[in-house]
Amino acid sequence: MLDGVVAQSKYPLAYHITPLHGLLNDPNGLVQFNGKYHVFYQWNPTGTKHINKNWGHMVSDNMVDWERREIALAPSEYYDKDGIYSGSAVVKDGILYLFYTGNVIEEDGTKKSYQCYATSEDGITFDKKGPLFAHPEGFTRHVRDPKVWYSETEAKWFLLLGAQTNELLGTAIWYVSTNLIEWEYLGEILSADSEAYMWECPDLFELDGQWVFLLSPQGLPAKGHQFQNIYHSVYFPVVRAGSKYEMVNEKMLEIDWGFEFYAPQTFEADDGRRILYAWMGVMEPEVEQATPTISEGWIHNLTIPRELQFENGKLKQYPVPELALLRKNKTTYTLSEPWLVASDEYAYELLMDVESEASFTLSIKDGTKLFYDVKDRSLTLERINWLTQQPETRKTLLDQPLTDVHIFIDGSSIEIFSNAGTSVASARFFEEGPFVMRYEGEITGRIDIYELEHKNPLS
């Protein structure tokens, strides 16, 4: 069941988290509290511009069936009057704590950031408690996106922030606390980045025995097939070195090789899984403003939830198994011959099982295509840019033969997971006309195609 303006959209999304209306950006405050999953998100309920950010709120028992709640946090106080910016959530002694950045524009135009918190006993209504500490010295006003976690081994809480040094370099700083309220400044957690001018939405967690840093840097130059989008989201393994962390190698790797994936945040579920949501996503401002849903009064969605693992120095991402609850009827085709699916349905899950690899093309409508070229083991995602009307591509090279491709399609969104979660891409696409999927290729193998339930967003 769809609600809000998304219900009448020409580009509906059946199972992704969207705003009711207006603009959605980063996922915030991801947490499991009293058994229920809470997803908050940056939300401008009054229009499709990046102003007036609130925390929208969705609650679920299974990350598939969602209940939409009232706005959790709205701008109101001297320390957050121009926006409740991104942040995170933790649970302590049965209380849900939300940490966020208050965005303030003074009358003379000066902009300020306050790191703030709010608490809740029921997970529905939140009490703002105000700023946590003074703005740190040595940084511009670009300090934001608190991510808080508990270290069992140190029996302490840590708070991580994205920041910009006075020399205009991207970095992250951190604080330590025993009670979530009094925080001691620890300084920069890594050495500042000489290529990025700002680091947004940092995240740090232990995964399969390795500490992993996640980050949304701004300003990285393109490198090979990487960093082709306006802003990027990267990961890299780190090790603790005194009151800092160090990169294990000097490489930042893109989390998603598609278009516009941005501002990912993770949380640890009660069963120990590390789950990620991200915003789909960040675009050049002129492309964003040309997005066809703007004329319908809404824009953007979150990704599906992805479970993370870390193996052989690489992040692996899998759609959470709960998404199988969406499955309806299934059809199976061989991958050695062409096939075509044409229907009014637009919500699908595709599972390609590759016995022996070969080149293939999968197209959706006419302009959105996934190619695999067996000669250089390249996967290419092509779509029609809705501003220029020209095709544009993103590409990655696999380091192993193709073994599997798992795709989630939802009207105007595609998420592709290949080779056991080691290579992941997502994108939006906006094309009119009937929903047709075509396959051509000579892979030995088969594909299961499920039509998926329409769930989102439940009111």
- Tokens of residue 312, six digits: 């052989």
Measured over the CA atoms of residue 259, residue 195, residue 101 and residue 183, the dihedral's sign is positive
CB of 362 to ligand FRU, least distance (A): 30
At 106, the amino acid letter reads: E
For residue 26, indicate whether it is catalytic: yes
Q: Which two tokens stand for residue 22?
A: 């207006």
Is the bond into 94 cis (omega within 30 degrees of 0)? Answer: no
Shortest separation between residue 262's beta carbon and ligand FRU, angstroms: 6
What is the C-alpha separation between 118 and 347, in angstroms, rounded? 37
Nearer to ligand FRU by Cβ, of 18 and 101: the residue is 101
Pairing state of beta strands 139-151 and 156-165?
antiparallel
Cα separation of 231 and 262, whole Å? 7
Cα–Cα distance measured from residue 159 to residue 115, given in angstroms and rounded to the nearest whole number: 10
CB of 81 to ligand FRU, least distance (A): 15
Record the tokens describing residue 86, joined without a space.
Answer: 């991104």
Give whichever of 101 and 368 is closer to ligand FRU, judged by the CB atom.
Answer: 101
Q: Mind giving me the DSSP string for 162-204?
A: EEEETTS-EEEEEEEESSSSS-EEEEESSPPBSS-SEEEEEEE
Residue type, 265: Q
Write down the catalytic residue from 3, 26, 93, 376. Answer: 26
**What residues line the site for ligand FRU (CB under 6 A)?**
25-26, 42, 53, 85-86, 101, 144-145, 200-201, 262-263
CB neighbours of 338 closer than 8 A, spacing ≥ 6? 438, 439, 440, 441
Quote the least distance from Cβ 212 to ligand FRU, whole Å.
20
Tokens, residue 364: 């959706």
Pairwise CA distance, residues 447 & 254, whole Å: 28
Cβ 252 to ligand FRU shortest distance, Å? 17
Beta pairing, strands 111-120 & 127-131: antiparallel
Largest separation between any pair of C-alpha atoms in the chain:
66
Which residue is listed with tokens 């959790």? 72
Instruction: Look up residue 247 and give its two tokens.
Output: 């990169």
Q: In angstroms, give the least distance from the CB of 163 to ligand FRU.
A: 11
Nearer to ligand FRU, 53 or 455 (CB): 53
Whole-number minimum distance, CB 43 to ligand FRU, in Å? Answer: 9
- Gyration radius from the chain CA atoms: 22
Name the residue nearer to ligand FRU (CB basis): 25 or 422: 25
Residue type, 5: V
User: Between residues 215 and 335, which has the closer beta carbon with respect to ligand FRU?
Assistant: 215
Compute the C-alpha angle 50/54/58, nearest 5°: 115
Print burial letters for 111-121: b (CB count within 10 Å at least 16), e (below 16).
Answer: eebbbbbbebe
> Which of 232/455 has CB closer to ligand FRU?
232
Nearer to ligand FRU, 146 or 441 (CB): 146
Q: CB nearer to ligand FRU: give 231 or 346.
A: 231
In the complex, what is the shortest distance from the CB of residue 200 to ligand FRU, in angstroms, rounded to a whole number? 4
Q: Active-site positions? A: 26
